[in-house]
């Protein structure tokens, strides 16, 4: 099974949004039994808490489930466990690379690396900006690009070709 971990600062806005969006995408493509998805934060302030109300609101509006999402802090073991570790911004990317150190790790990169046409490299933190709609749009594009990459790198075919992002 392929494993993907989305990471932001507190794990209540961007990374749980990405986790939910990605789960929705793979479910629609019939790949839920092939890809494991989780999210975490580099900080521990919100551990055990549900996503931010803005994240819940935008996902509910888009009819994407937030069931089971609870904040947690990324751990050293995650570096070896996950095939793809996807940071929302350069600060968290740096934190993840420091955490990984010289240990063997899967791919560690930013979500918007999978959106070549993007004018920005980092998903802005809506905890500070309040713009959950912009973040959702960026996360959705990033997740679609990431899924295309994962499918290509792992020779995964969709069971439902009508829902390819």
Catalytically active residues, by annotation: 8, 14, 125
State how far the Cα of 81 lies from the Cα of 163, in Å rounded to an integer: 29
CB crowding 108-131: b at 16 or more within 10 Å, else e: bbbbbbbbeebeeebbbbbbeeee
Q: How far is CA 24 from the centre of its chain?
A: 12
State how far the Cα of 93 lies from the Cα of 82, in Å rounded to an integer: 15
């Amino acid at each position: 099974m392929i494993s993907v971990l989305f990471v932001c600062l507190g794990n209540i806005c961007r990374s749980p949004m990405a986790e939910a969006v990605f789960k929705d995408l793979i479910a629609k493509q019939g790949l839920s039994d092939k890809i494991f998805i989780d999210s975490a934060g580099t900080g521990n302030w919100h551990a055990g808490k549900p996503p931010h109300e803005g994240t819940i609101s935008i996902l509910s509006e888009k009819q994407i489930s937030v069931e089971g999402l609870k904040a947690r802090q990324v751990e050293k073991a995650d570096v070896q466990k996950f095939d793809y570790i996807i940071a929302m911004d350069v600060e968290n990317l740096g934190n993840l690379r420091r955490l990984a150190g010289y240990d063997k790790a899967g791919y560690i990169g930013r979500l918007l690396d999978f959106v070549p046409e993007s004018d920005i490299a980092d998903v802005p933190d809506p905890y500070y900006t309040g713009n959950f709609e912009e973040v959702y749009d960026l996360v959705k594009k990033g997740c679609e690009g990431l899924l295309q990459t994962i499918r290509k790198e792992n020779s995964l075919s969709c069971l439902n070709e009508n829902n390819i992002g």
